[in-house]
Every structure is written in C-alpha cells, then in structure tokens.
Chain A
C-alpha cells in the first residue's frame, strides 16, 4: 500500500462513521430546528426561549456546571497526584475510583435517591443515631438548595473519575527530570505542583475540562431521578419537547442551543489552556 495514502485509509472508517452517525443526523436536526410552516424560520427558537421555564432551566444547568466542574477538577487533580505517588496498589485504587464510571447515570441517580429519600438510608441513619426525631424530607420543592446539593453530590461522585483517568495518564507523561531539576533548586512540593505539574498538564487538562464541561451541559438522568419536577434543566426540557409534546422542531432548537453553549465553552477552554506552538513535553 502506498505509504502516503495509508493515514487516510486508516482514518477512513472513523470519518465514515462520524459522517453517517454524527454529521448526517446533525444536518437533519438543524433542518428540523430551522424549519417552519413556510421554509426557514426562527419560530422554534422563539417558542422555546420565550417559554417561562427556559431561563430557569438555563440557570440551573449553568449553576450546576459552575459548581460541579471546579470541584471535580480539584478532586481529580488531588486524586491523580496521589495515585502517581503510590508505589503499591496503584491499579487497585484506580479501579475502585473508576467504578462509578461504569454505572449508568440513571442508576447513579437512583442510588443517591435511595440515600436522600424520605425513607432512605440517610434518614434511617439519622433517626437511628438520634440526630433527627423523624424522617426529614430532603428532596422537596421547599428546599431547592438541598435538591441542588444532592444533585451536585451525585454528579461529583459519578463523573469525577472521567477527569481522573485523563489526568493520571497526563501526569504519567511528565518527565521525571523536571521534578529533579525543581528539587535541586529547592522547590517545595506545592511549588513543584504549581510550576511543573500544572503547566505540563495543560493538554490533558484541556481534554478533561472540555469533556466534562460538555457533559455537564447534558446532565439529565441524575437530575430527573433526584429533582423530579423541582429542578428543570435544559436536557430535561428537550426530552419534554420531544416525547411529552412530540414537538420535534422545538426539541431540535433546544438541542442546537445546548450545542451552541457547548461550543462557546469549548472554544474558551481551548483558548485559555492553549499550548504555545512548538512547545512539547
């Protein structure tokens, strides 16, 4: 086989796959979103944006991402550095930490629902220890803050590992020489982390953050399980448009809005964490 052609042949299957299962549906969705009674129109967008729940669900989604992603980033960095220092049992710890990744997000939501429910584990424990007189209702519309926290907790538990895996791989790639040099100049462990690990991790941080932020805008099943109707989020609204209202146009418009938000944040992350041209590790 011609060596010049080989790379293209190798990426051909993936390209075909993406065209068929991503680009083509995307074009269809866009056509649906911009389609109206008579040709192109923005009616679908006007409809979904003027709906009274839209600002609330947008706010909830954004707040959730703003709370969850930084906490996950900090935790994942901490966990990755810890794992990296371990001499024994590294694999075992990694396996255990990544278990939540293997659980579907609805199942994760239901697990946390079993904890926070009125007759759930947390309540039985608190009553058993004498901390509360009777079961407390955590997940009610009266304390949206608590519902929000429960969802954030479930999300952190569920999806921190995805950042962890990427960061562990990234840290493993940093050459030991840099640390040795830093130590020679008397850098403290904290300084080594700030001046060596973090800058060298940029490419991995970029990937991890993009992946996680985009997923955060798509949060759905955990919210549906824990928040019920109390916490509307963008993805839940898309589901409602598509299946409750059978309004494919509006659902497509909402999906494009989520896509737009994701693209904006991806571009921001790419710019902020860009690796200068020519720099390598």
Chain B
C-alpha cells in the first residue's frame, strides 16, 4: 500500500507540474474561420508569423469552439486569448462574456459593420475582422446556353431559371447547383437573396403574397437543380467535378474552383427580382473573452490583424476581404480577383438591394435559420402547399421575434420594438 501511495503522489505531482508549467507563451487564437487545413496553414505561415510573441492558431468547428469557450467562461478562468468567429457566433453570446474593445482604437471602415459589432451595447464587443459575400459562379460550358439577351452580370431570376432550363433541356441533366446539404448555407440564400429580391423584406414579408411568388419561382428553379443538391455543401466541389454548372455559394466555398482551374469558371452577381438585386454580406470578427489569460497580448494581436498588410495577407489565406480601406495588390489569387469583381458588380448595380445580417436575435439565430430551412424542406423537398407552410412557419418566426425583441433590419422597414411578421 505504501508503494501505491508513493506512486499516487508521484502521479499527482507530475500532473501538477504538467498543468502549471506553461506549455508555450503563445497567444491562443481560437477560431471558427479558416478551418480547412490549407487555410489554417496559410493563416499560421503567412498571416500570423509576423506577430511578435507568437500565436497558436486553432481553428475548430462551431460546436467544439463554443463548448470549450463556454466551459472556460463558466469556470471563470481560461487559456483562450483571442476569438475569431462570424457575427452570428458572437451575437449568440452574452456581451458580458466579451471584453469591451471600444478603447482599442481599431475598427472597420464600415459604420454598418461597427454598429453590428456592438451587439446591442454602447461599445464594440468584437472588432470586424474580414468580410465576404455570396455570389454565383458558372462553368464556361454553361455560357452557351445563356438565354438570348441575358447579360450575365445583370441577370434576373427569370433569366436564371430560363438558363438552367436550357442547360437541362439541351444536356439532359439538371446542372444548377444549390448548397442544400447539412453544412450548406442555404438559409442565407433565402434570407439575403430570394426574399429581398422578391418581397423587399425578410421578417415583415415572410408570409406575404410576394413571398408565395418567390417560393414558386424557386420551385421552378428547383426543377432544373441537380437533385443531389441535398448533399452539396461546398459548391466548388460540384463545379470541379462537373455535377453542377451554375451555382450559388459563399465566395470562400467557391475559391478552390477558381484557384485550381481559373480559366474554366466565371463569377457573377446574384440575380435580381421584382424588388431589386438582394444580397448579403458575411462578417467575421475578433473578440477577447473575459477570461483571456493575457488581455494585453490579445489586444495587440487584434490590432495587428487590422493592419492593412495583415488584412491583405488574410485575404490571400482565406478569400475573405479586408474590412479596412486598403489598396489591393495586382498579384492576388484567381479566386480573389473573380469573386472580388463579382461582389463589386453586385453592390454597384443600379438595382442593388443589400440586406444586413440578422441582428439582435441573440442565441435564437439558429432557430431563425431553421424557420427558413424548414420552409425549404417542406415546400421544395416535401412538395407541401406554399401558403399553408408559410402560414404555419410564420407562427414560429413571430415567436422568435417577440421573444428576442429584435427590431427590423434592412431591407425590412424599421420597427418600434420587435420586428413584426405581417
């Protein structure tokens, strides 16, 4: 028994030493972005290597990312110094868990983004880090089927449907591709593209007659959509293997296609509907949890990430665009050139109808997305009656808005108090 005791105390001592000895003095950067191995490696080698003091960059899926963060917050002490995540991840958190960053002296050059980053408080809770958007991309093989008179840079939804139909009729295969897989970002298409383009709103107009038209149009487009779309999550894969010729997705989920075969694909703006060309930005931010072990180093890293050189390096590494004013160099990767041009054309188009990211939903962001995903699954996959589904889902949407009290965001008209579902 004595030797057992000795052994136990030796083990305990070893464990104690291991837990207190600093494994490294690096700043721990805990991120949901730049997850693919190549991107993570590029972040480490090209973006973060210039930071004095060293950074331990750890990208993770949203689930594990949040689980560890919450564990550290609940324990009241942690090892994460800097958080990198999407606006939606931060808006689901309690602002008290994040260090106020208003006095840091860095922010994005967009007041809209800075406003979102306050998370409903008086001061910046995270610093906007990088931005992206959703665009369309097509294989050059598809271009010959463009309907007559259609300008690829100013398509309407009707022309997009006609185009997809032409391809379907001529080749015998449905070649429109839509990221409807489990990890696909389909909800953003409905919230930021389809609804604004047809109803000039998202929440107020959720169950309007215009919304019924929008879903009818989408159902029409779905006739010419590759039915395997329910397994597609990163449309660059289907562009590259030819399963889809015309696709919609996040710029960074199309990048690989442009970088591998830049001459085979084109990027172009999202189509327009009766109420304009709806589109939505994607915003990622940097924050410091209240439990950060070294807040000074963390702040230095956040400031470093906002420097113009770092922002350009980040663009090369992740295909996310800078949030501060920078002069873009000429030697950018093909994907950045292609998607940058498409986003610029989209926002500069005369009928542009930019939407904002859902704001003020707190931890109900997932439930909000589910309303749209469920509508899609019931209307398009389940073939249920559009009016009935919308009236049914409307109740859930209204409940979410009332519970969170979130006011309307563009393109919905402003509201006093919670955004009403009309």
Contacts and interface: CB of A to CB of B under 8 A. Distances in A.
Contacts of B367: 245, 247
Contacts of A52: 374, 378
A36 to B, nearest CB: 14
B181 A246 contact: no
A193 interface: no
A134 B227 contact: no
Nearest to B231: A228
A231 B182 CA distance: 11
Interface string B120-161: 000000000000000000000000000000000000000000
Contacts of B366: 244-247
Nearest to A242: B63
Contacts of B377: 229
A140 B228 CA distance: 5
B227 A137 contact: yes
Interface in A119-144: 119, 134, 137, 139-142
A27 B182 CA distance: 31
A235 interface: no
B230 A140 contact: yes
A134 B172 contact: yes
Contacts of A246: 66, 92, 363, 366
Categorize the interface residue count of chain B.
Answer: 20 to 34
A243 B367 CA distance: 11
Contacts of A139: 228, 231
A142 B243 CA distance: 17
* Secondary structure type dominating chain B contacts: helix
A53 B393 CA distance: 13
B239 to A, nearest CB: 13
B226 interface: yes
B313 interface: no
Contacts of A247: 366-367
A239 B64 CA distance: 12
A118 interface: yes
A230 interface: yes
Looking at A224, A229, A239, which has the most chain B CB atoms within 10 Å of its CB? A229
B394 to A, nearest CB: 14
A137 B63 contact: no
B60 to A, nearest CB: 12
Interface string B367-392: 10110001001100100000000000
Contacts of B92: 246
Nearest to B62: A243
Interface string B229-243: 011000000000111
A249 to B, nearest CB: 12
Chain A's interface: helix, strand, loop or mixed, by majority? Answer: loop
Contact of A229 (B66, B173, B182, B363): B182
Given A245-B366, A246-B66, A246-B366, A137 B226 contact: yes
A118 B238 CA distance: 10
B226 A141 contact: no
Given A224-B182, A229-B377, A245-B367, A142 B227 contact: yes
Given A140-B230, A141-B230, A119 B243 contact: yes
Interface in B89-120: 92
Nearest to A232: B377
B241 A230 contact: no
Interface string A236-254: 0001101111110000000
Contacts of A240: 370
Residue among B241, B366, B378 with max Cβ neighbours from chain A (10 Å): B366
B3 to A, nearest CB: 14
Interface in B76-94: 92
A229 B373 CA distance: 10
B180 interface: yes
A232 to B, nearest CB: 9
Contacts of A53: 374
Contact of B243 (A113, A118, A228, A230): A118
Contacts of B63: 239, 242-243
Interface in B210-246: 226-228, 230-231, 241-243
Contacts of B228: 117-118, 137, 139-140
Contacts of B243: 118-119
Given A118-B243, A140-B228, A141-B381, A245 B370 contact: yes
B227 A229 contact: no
Interface of A: 52-53, 113, 117-119, 134, 137, 139-142, 224, 228-230, 239-240, 242-247
Given A117-B231, A137-B228, 8 more contacts: A53-B374, A117-B228, A119-B241, A119-B242, A134-B172, A243-B63, A245-B370, A246-B363
17 contacts: A53-B374, A113-B231, A118-B228, A119-B243, A137-B227, A139-B231, A140-B227, A140-B228, A228-B182, A229-B181, A242-B63, A243-B61, A244-B366, A244-B369, A246-B92, A246-B363, A247-B366
Ranked nearest first, the 10 interchain pairs of A and B with the lowest CB-CB distance are: A140-B227, A245-B366, A243-B63, A228-B231, A228-B230, A244-B366, A141-B381, A228-B181, A141-B230, A137-B228
Interface of B: 61-63, 66, 92, 172-173, 180-182, 226-228, 230-231, 241-243, 363, 366-367, 369-370, 374, 377-378, 381
